[in-house]
Amino acid sequence: MLFSLTEDQKLLQESAKRFAQAELPQLAKELEQSAEPVPDAWRRRYAEMGFLGVNADPEYGGLGMPLLDALLVMEEFAKISVAVAFPIFECCAGPVRIIERYGSPELKAHVLPKVVGGEMLVAISMSEPDAGTALTDLRTRARIEGDEIVVDGAKRWCSGAGHSEGYVVFCRFDGVQGAKGIAAVFVERNTKGLSFGPQERLMGFRGVPSADMNFDAVRVPRRNLVVGPGGFASLMGAFNIERLGNATMALGVAAGALEQVTAYVQERKQFGKPIVNFQAVQISLAEMEMKVEASRLLIHRAAANAGHDLPRVRETLVAKCFANEMTRDVTGMALQLMGGYGYAQEYGMERRFRDSWGWGIAGGAIDIQKVNIASEMVGRRFDQRR
């Protein structure tokens, strides 16, 4: 069992680190103030560096590397901020991976080169007002009419809504109830009948758009069917890639906080010496380091075992849950060590703290993931409706 990266992985990681640390801190501050997403020009720069297609098929312009390699890049960007890392997350771990795995050849040829080239972001559209954790209760409807699919309904809490150029929309076909009726359809932003609500104002995740989506007789070509009815298990299996991306974003936030506070405690002086000389500070640093390293190992295990395939469910759930709780703990401890400087917006730690809380809500809340972990442990599902 190996616990070290290959030389190629180290080079990729270092390239991402140099770019992120040299180019992105000022952009992160601007996005935090404006709440605007990464501008198109910056996204094209990401693409030119190869960061948007690390694990995409070379047939569509990608580098064809394993999932782990993409997560190495994502962590380095997330150390700077969630906002600047979000395009990496969407392109390397988001629903575009579902399209690459299950979409028609025509759909893949239409979408994937644009994603890799920085011309398109693809967001996932799952949650609804009455269907979040209980996803199989979703009501957005779809039906096939000739060579078209017609979609009606509403979605909520879609990260990227109104900004991303494409959406993988979970919907119910022909009124079939439960998981058997759920499928996924690709819808582009400018499609007639698709509209967006006002941008949400969230505690964190500034620079990551979020809004309601409304589908009023939205018509798309039949080839835009990504996964048909009865394929809910396949959809959720592929969604484990996004869950590992979620865990990596949480890890990046915590790792960035740890790097920042480690530098701070060696510079900040009280009672005539750097505060790192005090044992209480040393113990806090050690606790944060242990949590960050444990999280990184869990994520890397799940990604390494997946290779170019789908991550294992149990490993993914454990990695996501641990990272989601870990990042809240680490950013909170780091903020406390920095005192007033941690609480002040100018220094960025309070942003890391706010951003840390979103990951344990997105992609499946922490508690429901723990229920799913227990389900994997005992080998049976727990029916929440009885």
Residue 255 CA to residue 330 CA, distance in Å, equals 8
Would you call 90 exposed, middle or buried from its count of C-beta atoms within 10 A (0-12, 13-18, 19+)? Answer: buried
* All CATH 2.40.110.10 domain ranges in the chain, comma separated: 122-230
pLDDT value of position 160: 95
Q: What is the CATH number of domain 122-230?
A: 2.40.110.10
* From the candidate CATH numbers 2.40.160.20, 3.40.50.620, 1.20.140.10, 3.40.50.720, the one assigned to the domain spanning 233-378: 1.20.140.10
pTM, two decimals, is 0.96
Residues 6+ apart with CB under 8 A from 69: 9, 12, 54, 55, 63
- Element (H or E) spanning 122, and its range? strand 122-125
Q: What is the fold, at CATH topology level, of the domain defined by 7-116?
A: Butyryl-Coa Dehydrogenase, subunit A; domain 1 (1.10.540)
Is the per-residue pLDDT at 332 higher than 90? yes
Residue 353 and residue 260 in contact, taking contact as beta carbons nearer than 8 Å: no
pLDDT value of position 1: 77
pLDDT digits (tens, 9 = 90+) for 297-323: 999 999 999 999 999 999 999 999 999
pLDDT digits (tens, 9 = 90+) for 105-138: 999 999 999 999 999 999 999 999 988 888 889 9
Residue 195 CA to residue 183 CA, distance in Å, equals 21
pLDDT value of position 139: 94
pLDDT digits (tens, 9 = 90+) for 272-283: 999 999 999 999
pLDDT digits (tens, 9 = 90+) for 14-56: 999 999 999 999 999 999 999 999 999 999 999 999 999 999 9
* All CATH 1.10.540.10 domain ranges in the chain, comma separated: 7-116
- Element (H or E) spanning 249, and its range? helix 232-267
- Which residue type does 190 have? N
What's the whole-number average pLDDT of the chain?
96
pLDDT value of position 170: 97
Q: For 231, phi and psi rounded to 5 degrees?
A: -100, 25
pLDDT value of position 51: 98
Residue 77 CA to residue 71 CA, distance in Å, equals 10
Residues 6+ apart with CB under 8 A from 262: 285
pLDDT value of position 18: 98
Residue 343 CA to residue 147 CA, distance in Å, equals 56
pLDDT value of position 384: 79
Structure tokens at 378: 């005992």
Structure tokens at 104: 């028609």
Residue 43 and residue 118 in contact, taking contact as beta carbons nearer than 8 Å: yes
- Which residue type does 77 have? F
- Which residue type does 279 have? Q
Is the per-residue pLDDT at 235 higher than 90? yes
DSSP one-letter string for 78-108:
HHH-HHHHHHHHHHHHSTHHHHHHHS-HHHH
Is the per-residue pLDDT at 97 higher than 80? yes
* All CATH 1.20.140.10 domain ranges in the chain, comma separated: 233-378
